[in-house]
């Protein structure tokens, strides 16, 4: 089982879009996938047409010990793809859990027994480095960082890497950064290529070869509550995420060869 946190403290970089569509593409290839929405904005949940506002069945109620993981788990319209949704109540979790012992690992505590049911667990983190993100990084063993291929792409990355180092040393020694996803790429501009080159220089071989191109269909699919593979299967967005997903699976083959 691979557990991967999609993280970037900047908003609007393609983090939720990547979590949703990589999850859908993995499921389409026969993988059993669990998505966990740890962003109070609940954009990942909305991406699959899930709205649990007022129903007491979100990851917030799991963290507070009011519901079991099985009680908040929802099957999406995509076969093999389940989600633990979020809602706006999650915004108060950091304050409410401030005196809770082991608050950084509370999500892991409540979902650990079901993790072996899945091939992949993908976690959508909020655009911050607070308690919710810490919880994601204690569940996950891998980090994917979506980066917008625009001027300020690397702004704040050093702080993110500092946080990663602290978590790895103190809370999760297995945690590794295993993928950088270039998002919103426009090959027609010199700036896009220049930023992409800078990202590759900074992260070297961790950068995926697939660039997620700017594609209006990706935004439209969210508003329709569907992954891009269902909404516009022939679009550049669908083709890019399918190619990225194949790269992600290929990482396992590379690891096995290295271990051998």
Residues 6-55 pLDDT 10s: 999 888 889 999 999 999 999 999 999 999 999 999 999 999 999 888 88
pLDDT at residue 55, as a whole number: 84
Share of the chain above pLDDT 70, in %: 97
* Closest to 50 measured CA to CA, from 81, 14, 93: 81
**Could you give the residue ranges of the DSSP H alpha helices within the chain?**
15-28, 43-47, 59-63, 69-72, 93-96, 106-111, 131-139, 157-170, 190-203, 216-223, 228-231, 236-259
**What fold, for 2-259?**
Rossmann fold (3.40.50)
State whether residue 53 is helix, strand or coil: coil
Domain boundaries, the chain: 2-259
Share of the chain above pLDDT 90, in %: 77
Distances, alpha carbon 233 to alpha carbons 25, 97, 186, in Å: 11, 42, 20
pLDDT at residue 256, as a whole number: 57
Phi and psi of 146, rounded to 5°? -75, 130
pLDDT at residue 255, as a whole number: 62
In which residue ranges of the chain is pLDDT below 70? 254-260
pLDDT at residue 158, as a whole number: 87
């Amino acid at each position: 089982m691979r557990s991967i946190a999609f993280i970037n403290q900047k908003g609007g970089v393609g983090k939720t879009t990547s979590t949703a569509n990589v999850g859908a593409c993995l499921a389409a290839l026969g993988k059993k996938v669990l998505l966990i929405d740890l962003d109070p904005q609940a954009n990942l949940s909305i991406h699959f047409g899930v709205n649990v506002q007022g129903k007491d069945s979100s990851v917030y109620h799991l963290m507070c010990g009011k519901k079991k993981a099985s009680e908040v788990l929802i099957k999406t319209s995509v076969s093999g793809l389940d989600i633990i949704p979020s809602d706006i109540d999650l915004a108060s979790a950091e304050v409410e859990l401030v005196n809770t012992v082991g608050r950084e690992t509370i999500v892991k505590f409540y979902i650990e027994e079901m993790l072996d049911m899945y091939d992949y667990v993908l976690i959508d983190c909020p655009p911050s480095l607070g308690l919710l993100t810490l919880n994601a990084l204690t569940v996950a063993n891998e980090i994917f960082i979506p980066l917008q291929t625009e001027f300020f792409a690397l702004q704040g990355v050093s702080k993110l890497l500092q946080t990663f180092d602290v978590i790895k040393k103190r809370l999760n020694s297995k945690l590794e950064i295993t993928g950088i996803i270039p998002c919103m790429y426009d090959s027609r501009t010199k700036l896009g290529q220049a930023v992409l080159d800078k990202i590759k220089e900074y992260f070297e071989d961790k950068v995926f070869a697939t660039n997620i191109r700017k594609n209006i269909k990706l935004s439209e699919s969210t508003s329709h509550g569907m992954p891009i593979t269902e909404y516009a299967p022939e679009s550049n967005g669908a083709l890019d995420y399918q190619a990225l997903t194949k790269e992600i699976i290929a990482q396992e083959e590379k690891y096995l060869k290295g271990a051998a």
